[in-house]
Amino acid sequence: VYDRVYDADRPEIFLKATPSRVVGPGGAVAIRSDSGWDVPEPELALMVNVHGEVVGYTIGNDVSSRSIEGENPLYLPQAKVYAQCASLGPVVVLTDEVADPRDLPIRLEIKRGGEVLFAEETGTSRMHRTFEDLVKYLFRGNAFPAGVFLMTGTGIVPPSEFTLRDGDVV
């Protein structure tokens, strides 16, 4: 199922979180108690205004419960949307301050007990979809009177034997 989405005309887009489910810098994301395999997913987040124009960029963490999603792809909302399931920040950089948004690094580092367990880097140049295409599809049939943050997808996934634990620093 997932392999087909990368070649499809329509991108995979879903509601990740309402503002009350998002934590800011230094805040603790949640790990579902009914999931045994949970991972962070670092993503570029586009700040999009009411008119569908990208006006800024920040980093997001799309925390995912892989064990729930793995049971059945139809469980994706349960694996992705819950209290404290995402974080944004620490800053928003305006679009005119970024020379080439298609050439930004994205890095993930996970520490447990002060030691680095996992670290990897990717970049926006490796993304399959354009920002414009993602925004266009997001705004089809949807209005965002206050604007919206759109997470663009991850290119970094920790190994299958890794799962987040309370106290991990991402």
Tell me the pLDDT tens digit for each residue of 66-114.
999 999 999 999 999 999 999 999 999 999 999 999 999 999 999 999 9
pTM for this prediction? 0.94
Q: Is 4 exposed, middle or buried (0-12, 13-18, 19+ CB in 10 A)?
A: exposed
- Report d(CA 119, CA 170) in Å as an integer: 10
Rounded to 5 degrees, φ, ψ at 114 are 85, -5
Query: 153: which residues sit within 8 A by CB, 6+ positions away?
Result: 12, 43, 127, 129
* 73 HSE (CA, 13 A, CB side): 6
* 156 HSE (CA, 13 A, CB side): 24
**CATH top-level class of 2-151:** alpha beta
Q: Domain residues of the chain, as ranges?
A: 2-151
